[in-house]
């Protein structure tokens, strides 16, 4: 009923330097603990998603396409092989987005947990990095599982195909960081989700060279691909999984584009979190 141990006091107990160096990890640990509450659902989605997509679009639609294009294939390979790296990148992007946007809205708005976290020695920057780190964890196992399914479908032709795993996670990280910054700004999330779903995610998915080479689109629509992290990641993924030709210059362009997006996303996210918490 009473405090049984002797009170030592925070001046003895709390090591602020330790929190300063590891704060983001503490946030990530807590967030991972939350994630574990619905881990089976996440894993289920991570497996069901590629299986269903690869069967329906890859094999079903792919069969028709392969039949009509003949032995030249799409980009020189079977449609399923062409499609799979794009879906891998899309899964990473979707995974990090879910794990950055929802926790951010929850932290600032729905449950206001970020405010109680910020009442500890944790800073806004550490909270934003912690949430971001956890989203990479989700991206990691989503991509690894997806990759396993791709292997089972026999679409990995190159020996260095495994490099598509870090590449997809990198793309997910870039997009997730930017979305986290955006979510940190949100006051009214209802409109955001409508706009995000219909005018951002859907066009990105449809116009990033996911289902057909970007070059087969009219030129005035190709810009959607150029600014889409999904297209950049897909190009890299195709190069790594079956040897799609990417010039060294374009290779740099893809990496630098995703890198800039990541750095900007993390920078603005930390800044926005810090400012909003101090309001």
**Using CB under 8 A as the criterion, which residues of the chain lie in contact with another protein when the complex forms?**
1-5, 7-11, 13-16, 18-20, 22-23, 26-27, 29-30, 33-34, 37, 111-113, 115-123, 277-279
The residues near 267 (Cβ < 8 Å, ≥ 6 apart) are none
- We find the least distance from the C-beta atom of residue 37 to another protein, in angstroms, to be 6
Indicate the residue among 120 and 216 with the shorter CB distance to another protein: 120
Indicate the residue among 85 and 130 with the shorter CB distance to another protein: 130
Indicate the residue among 115 and 267 with the shorter CB distance to another protein: 115
- We find the least distance from the C-beta atom of residue 102 to another protein, in angstroms, to be 11
Indicate the residue among 248 and 279 with the shorter CB distance to another protein: 279
Helix, strand, coil distribution of the chain in percent, nearest 5: 80, 0, 20
- We find the least distance from the C-beta atom of residue 32 to another protein, in angstroms, to be 10
Torsion sign (Cα): 15, 17, 23, 26:
negative
CA-wise closest residue to 170 among 273, 272, 251, 258: 258
The three-state secondary structure class of 198 is helix
Indicate the residue among 22 and 185 with the shorter CB distance to another protein: 22
Indicate the residue among 13 and 72 with the shorter CB distance to another protein: 13
Indicate the residue among 72 and 119 with the shorter CB distance to another protein: 119
Q: Are 104 and 131 in contact (CB under 8 A)?
A: yes
- We find the least distance from the C-beta atom of residue 127 to another protein, in angstroms, to be 10
- We find the least distance from the C-beta atom of residue 138 to another protein, in angstroms, to be 15
As a dihedral over the C-alpha atoms of residue 206, residue 62, residue 97, residue 164, rounded to 10 degrees, the angle is -120
Q: What separation in angstroms does the CA of 21 have from each of 24, 78, 115, 118? A: 8, 49, 20, 16
Q: Are 277 and 115 in contact (CB under 8 A)?
A: yes
- We find the least distance from the C-beta atom of residue 257 to another protein, in angstroms, to be 35
- We find the least distance from the C-beta atom of residue 29 to another protein, in angstroms, to be 6
As a dihedral over the C-alpha atoms of residue 256, residue 261, residue 264, residue 268, rounded to 10 degrees, the angle is -170
Residue 205 has a CB neighbour count (10 Å cut-off) of: 17
């Amino acid at each position: 009923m009473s405090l049984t141990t002797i009170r030592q006091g925070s001046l003895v107990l709390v090591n602020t330097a330790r929190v300063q160096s590891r704060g983001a990890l503490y946030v990530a640990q807590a967030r991972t603990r939350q994630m574990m509450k619905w881990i089976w659902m996440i894993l289920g989605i991570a497996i069901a998603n590629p299986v269903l997509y690869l069967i329906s679009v890859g094999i079903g639609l792919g069969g028709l396409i392969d039949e009509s294009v003949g032995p030249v294939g799409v980009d020189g390979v079977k449609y399923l092989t062409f499609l799979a790296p794009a879906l891998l990148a899309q899964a990473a992007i979707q995974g990090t987005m879910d794990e950055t946007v929802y926790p951010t809205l929850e932290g600032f708005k729905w449950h206001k947990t970020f405010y109680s976290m910020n009442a500890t020695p944790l800073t806004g920057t550490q909270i934003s990095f912690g949430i971001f780190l956890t989203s990479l964890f989700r991206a990691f196992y989503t991509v690894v599982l997806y990759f396993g399914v791709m292997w089972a479908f026999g679409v990995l032709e190159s020996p260095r195909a495994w490099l598509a795993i870090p590449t997809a996670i990198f793309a997910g990280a870039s997009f997730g960081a930017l979305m986290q910054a955006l979510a940190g700004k949100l006051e009214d999330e209802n409109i955001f989700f409508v706009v995000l779903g219909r005018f951002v995610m859907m066009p990105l998915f449809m116009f990033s060279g996911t289902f057909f080479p970007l070059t087969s689109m009219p030129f005035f629509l190709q810009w959607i691909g150029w600014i889409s992290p999904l297209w950049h990641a897909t190009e890299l993924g195709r190069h790594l999984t079956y040897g799609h030709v990417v010039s060294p210059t374009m290779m740099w362009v893809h990496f630098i584009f995703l890198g800039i997006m990541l750095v900007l996303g993390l920078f603005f996210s930390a800044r926005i979190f810090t400012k909003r918490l101090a309001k």
